[in-house]
Chains A and B, each alone.
Chain A
């Protein structure tokens, strides 16, 4: 009995943090207006954990595209917005795509978040993908990119970096209601495109709302230097979004978010133009997201804040493909990932110098993958295996803890640890092999330690080491079937890919000069690679069981952990306010990657890339900016690059592109921007892309409030 009482009491003590939430609000609603200025200056406050941290106070290399950048620069898509960011190169297989490469990592090695919700799902493949372009640029308030691993806080896939897309929102008010409508438009000459958005925002008392509809028509893209129109590049898009924010109290809020992005007739340019396919398009490529988030801030000191979020996301791709070698058969593909997520995050203050952030997250994906081949001559339809294992499920549960410690007035530390447990279940069938069941449960523990030493309030040295991981997903583990080089069988024993990341840098934020410079090195192992394997004792698919490799009996391959790589680089980002009206910005990134086993260069490592801009804003409603984008030649090619038809023999040529843009507010409720891009009509393409970038391009944008 005494043991039971002791257990009960111990459990009670452990649950005290929860109790403080169930009890009355811990902070008294005191009136501070009676205090003098001196007293207010000496008052210690409770700060919200996850408060908008000043970049100068963060031990990470963080880049931000601000709301002002988005308004002035009128980006066509989210991927193209990232191309002007230091250390990010966007590979475009097709005009409807755009896959960022950050610190040498791409595809499912980069984590994308929307308002903190994971976009990455179980069928994100290794290599470039198009999913970042399923976010409506018109809905975006700002974009934050954390360079380097973010696995401790954000989980799997945050190998090269974390891209957090923050969408627009409006708060409610206790002092009145207001509503306004806005219309946005964008026109561009290189693709003869038109984009329009109608948006309503404001508040009805405590309920804040913002919602809009966007319609986009992108024509085929004209490249530079007489190349002309690139066929099979244009596509259509229609989007809608709504966000409702309700203030339950001055410290509690509830936010409901709904998004849909629907793209039609999105072609994959490279395989069609090469003749490999007569038709290859997504129609539709669609993403739906519903999310609900509750937040309680400034609860008290022991438990300072609580956030609970639930989300449901559906990513659908319906493909229409006609292989060049079988022109009478159209393949109708249906690949869908249905993802549910729950995140619970708390923060606690331990004295005045320490903030704990901790929580749980759960994500579960269900995959629907089917294919129907339609013979255009006979009309016959036949069901085939989809791209992925139909009905497969993937779940992850994780707990995380981050400790931010102010060691002294100059030194702060950030320690973190995460435990993640995954479960993947699938069944795959092939006529030559039969059925294979996959049931795997890998796990990963990751940790990080970072520090920031501030010489003064405006100058700091940051450093750190962190582990990253990428759990094998449905695409890694369940492929069963033929590919160009053989026959692949699934591997139910795949373990997470791992990395160790080392970084140090310096950042400054002064009255006239601000900048960040960093050196990083990332060491990868257990990388998933396709390797020769045996099946039923033989290294080839022995269809007739005669023990001899006959014609048509392909070699067996399997994805296995075993790859090792080393990536290192330097990133520098600077801004200078020359005079009140003149500002300069410049950035450059260099990166080098090597396969540690073969000693070959790694695939898809970007060339040296940099931007330079000069801006003049003489009066409050007018500005003009010259900017250029430069990339060096990239002839350090990995084995995959050498075989990639999107990369010219000998490597991707370097280029320099010059641009001018300008904007003015023609009254307080409207603005116009004009840009003339690629002034010299240079023909160029980003390394690894399947299409050329636009030639000379006149872009006009406007917005008006009603």
Chain B
């Protein structure tokens, strides 16, 4: 904001000062060459700043991935470290379905990440979770924070189903969820509720458990 105020002041400044601005305006034709120069200055400044703004490195640090990109990558990886009961899949080659509730950004990124990839010979598909649908129809369900506290209702509805539930909301792991993302020092980590996962028939590998910040039993 300070930048914009200072910029406005620079553009507004003129040799006759604040009180004389009215005279400067009314005498536009006399002042026109100056005014034209002032407009030209502004145009050049905007063009120059656009070039400056577009040069890598001048923004102060290398560009960082977004929180959603990292979470989408984690969700894809979770599929490699979880075992589902055989009954969770109709056939040997059935895909692993990842449902996303509420967060379109994670859904879009995840859709790109899983394209043409497989886990244990199974393809991965991404779909939108529909509120109130009668059965989970997915093997992993990411419940975004934009769902708000409806996540509690979703968790209640699918309790006991072999669905790995992943969230990013306070208390998610204590309210029936299995994996909850935590942001600390601008790095994404996660906590796991092993009891909730095992009661749904899922087995989480020891490697994933070892990397969790907290494991709730």
Please list the residues of chain A having a beta carbon within 8 angstroms of any beta carbon in chain B: 4, 7-24, 26-28, 30-33, 35-38, 40-48, 51-52, 54-56, 66-69, 71, 141-142, 171-176, 178, 180, 201-203, 208, 247, 250-251, 297-298, 300-302, 351-352, 358-360, 399-401, 406, 409, 457, 509, 511, 514, 577, 620-621, 665, 667-669, 705
Residues of A within 8 A of B163 (CB): none
Closest to A346 in B: B1
Q: Is A19's CB under 8 angstroms from B148's CB?
A: no
Report Cα–Cα, A401/B2, bound state, in Å: 9
Q: Is B65's CB under 8 angstroms from A32's CB?
A: yes
Q: Is A22's CB under 8 angstroms from B65's CB?
A: no
B121 within 8 A of A: no
B18 within 8 A of A: no
Sample 7 A-B pairs with CB under 8 A, ordered by A number.
A19-B52, A47-B67, A52-B145, A66-B148, A68-B152, A514-B171, A577-B174
Residues of A within 8 A of B2 (CB): 401
Known: A23-B50, A178-B130. A37 touches B170 (CB 8 A): no
Contact of B128 among A9, A173, A352 (CB under 8 A): A173
B201-217 vs A, CB cutoff 8 Å, 1 = contact: the mask equals 00000011001000010
Residues of A within 8 A of B5 (CB): 399
Q: Is B50's CB under 8 angstroms from A22's CB?
A: yes
B77 within 8 A of A: yes
Known: A41-B188, A47-B67, A301-B63. A13 touches B52 (CB 8 A): yes
Q: Is A47's CB under 8 angstroms from B186's CB?
A: yes
Residues of B within 8 A of A68 (CB): 149-150, 152-153
Q: Is B49's CB under 8 angstroms from A18's CB?
A: yes
Closest to B108 in A: A250
Residues of B within 8 A of A180 (CB): 130-132
Q: Is A7's CB under 8 angstroms from B52's CB?
A: no
Q: Is A7's CB under 8 angstroms from B132's CB?
A: no
Residues of B within 8 A of A409 (CB): 185
Report Cα–Cα, A655/B78, bound state, in Å: 54
Q: Is A56's CB under 8 angstroms from B59's CB?
A: no
Contact of B112 among A12, A31, A176 (CB under 8 A): A31
B55-80 vs A, CB cutoff 8 Å, 1 = contact: the mask equals 00011110111111110111011000
Closest to A69 in B: B149
Q: Is B64's CB under 8 angstroms from A46's CB?
A: yes
Residues of A within 8 A of B207 (CB): 37
Q: A32-B113, A45-B183, A250-B104 are known; give 19 further A-B pairs, CB within 8 A.
A: A11-B7, A13-B52, A18-B46, A20-B53, A32-B73, A33-B77, A42-B187, A45-B66, A46-B63, A46-B65, A48-B67, A66-B148, A68-B152, A175-B127, A178-B130, A203-B128, A297-B105, A509-B171, A669-B134
Report Cα–Cα, A544/B149, bound state, in Å: 68
Contact of B188 among A30, A40, A202, A301 (CB under 8 A): A40
Known: A45-B188, A298-B66. A509 touches B49 (CB 8 A): no
Interface residues of B in 1-39 (CB under 8 A from A): 1-7, 10-11, 13, 37
Report Cα–Cα, A12/B58, bound state, in Å: 13
Q: Is A71's CB under 8 angstroms from B1's CB?
A: no
B114-132 vs A, CB cutoff 8 Å, 1 = contact: the mask equals 1001000000001110111
Closest to B131 in A: A180
Q: Is B64's CB under 8 angstroms from A40's CB?
A: no
Report Cα–Cα, A13/B189, bound state, in Å: 37
Interface residues of B in 131-152 (CB under 8 A from A): 131-134, 145-146, 148-150, 152
Report Cα–Cα, A637/B113, bound state, in Å: 65
Q: Is B148's CB under 8 angstroms from A37's CB?
A: no
Please list the residues of chain B having a beta carbon within 8 angstroms of any beta carbon in chain A: 1-7, 10-11, 13, 37, 41-42, 44-46, 48-54, 58-61, 63-70, 72-74, 76-77, 81, 102-105, 107-109, 111-114, 117, 126-128, 130-134, 145-146, 148-150, 152-153, 156-157, 159-160, 170-171, 174, 183-189, 207-208, 211, 216
Report Cα–Cα, A250/B112, bound state, in Å: 11
Report Cα–Cα, A201/B131, bound state, in Å: 10
Q: Is A16's CB under 8 angstroms from B188's CB?
A: no
Residues of A within 8 A of B170 (CB): 54-56, 509
Report Cα–Cα, A239/B177, bound state, in Å: 36
Q: Is A13's CB under 8 angstroms from B49's CB?
A: yes
Known: A11-B41, A577-B174. A41 touches B187 (CB 8 A): yes
Q: Is A45's CB under 8 angstroms from B186's CB?
A: yes
Report Cα–Cα, A201/B46, bound state, in Å: 43
Residues of A within 8 A of B102 (CB): 171
Contact of B77 among A27, A37, A52, A457 (CB under 8 A): A37
Residues of A within 8 A of B11 (CB): 11
Known: A35-B73, A180-B130, A509-B170. A19 touches B50 (CB 8 A): yes
Report Cα–Cα, A705/B131, bound state, in Å: 9
Report Cα–Cα, A300/B2, bound state, in Å: 20
Instruction: State how many angstroms separate the Cβ of A341 from the closest Cβ of chain B.
Output: 18
Closest to A48 in B: B67
Q: Is A14's CB under 8 angstroms from B73's CB?
A: no
Q: Is A27's CB under 8 angstroms from B7's CB?
A: no
Instruction: State how many angstroms separate the Cβ of B10 from the closest Cβ of chain A.
Output: 5
Report Cα–Cα, A201/B147, bound state, in Å: 14
Contact of B174 among A358, A360, A511 (CB under 8 A): A511
Known: A174-B111, A178-B128, A250-B104. A14 touches B187 (CB 8 A): no
Q: Is B133's CB under 8 angstroms from A668's CB?
A: yes
Known: A32-B70, A180-B131. A26 touches B63 (CB 8 A): yes
Residues of A within 8 A of B74 (CB): 37, 40
Instruction: State how many angstroms separate the Cβ of A47 from the closest Cβ of chain B.
Output: 5
> Nearest 4 pairs between A and B by C-beta?
A19-B53, A23-B54, A66-B149, A15-B49
